[in-house]
Amino acid sequence: MTPAEASAKSLEICRKAPVIPVLVIDDLAHARPLAEALVKGGLPVLEVTLRTPVALEAIREMAQVEGGIVGAGTLLTPADVKAAKEAGALFGVSPGATDILLDACEAADLPLLPGAATASEAMALLERGYTVQKFFPAEANGGAKALKAIGAPIPQVTFCPTGGVSLKNAPDYLGLANTACVGGSWVAPKDMMIAGDWDGIVALAQEAAQLPR
């Protein structure tokens, strides 16, 4: 998969909904009902971060939910890429980008949303052919104002800002010309998952799915 092909697929995925839930799953029993709730609420694209022991198995479970498009986040190494692909991930997300990681994703035909925090990083990824990138960590790097500023000299790149994005500030990002969608964890609060409040998560997803862009 070429960088251009990966970016085209990433853009298609980002256009599915205004918010991509960023999910940290500690209990495998939560995987399927969480995916069902988010998809039911109008958020079909799900990023499962590889930060917990059950993350890969959670991807396998969630990939079976009808209407869901499940990807793996926090990809750091070629081994992560291989494991994510084998688990059924349809796309990958990384906090930053290295040549080794990019090579691995391209070889595995796994569309990657590579992370960039600065104009130089965005330019380096663009030089390789990645026109769709993750702006991370968004709020810590100056928020929507910073992303707008980066977009002025680099309009060729479209971003999915993630990191500190909430229901309150998501519209600031979604209103930018260089933003396709945002990534956020607020639609799947840990306390709701523990309580099994799937209806509550459906409601949060519906609210997020209606954000204008």
146-193 tens-digit pLDDT:
999 999 999 999 999 999 999 999 999 999 999 999 999 999 999 999
Give the strands of the sheet with 69-73, arranged side by side: 112-113, 92-93, 69-73, 45-49, 19-23, 182-184
The predicted-structure confidence for 1-36, as pLDDT tens digits, reads as follows 999 999 999 999 999 999 999 999 999 999 999 999
Query: What is the spatial distance between Cα 66 and Cα 39, in angstroms, rounded to a whole number?
Result: 8
Whether the full predicted model's pTM is greater than 0.85, yes or no, is yes
Query: What is the spatial distance between Cα 188 and Cα 179, in angstroms, rounded to a whole number?
Result: 22
Query: What is the spatial distance between Cα 104 and Cα 48, in angstroms, rounded to a whole number?
Result: 19
The residues annotated with a catalytic role in the active site are 47, 134
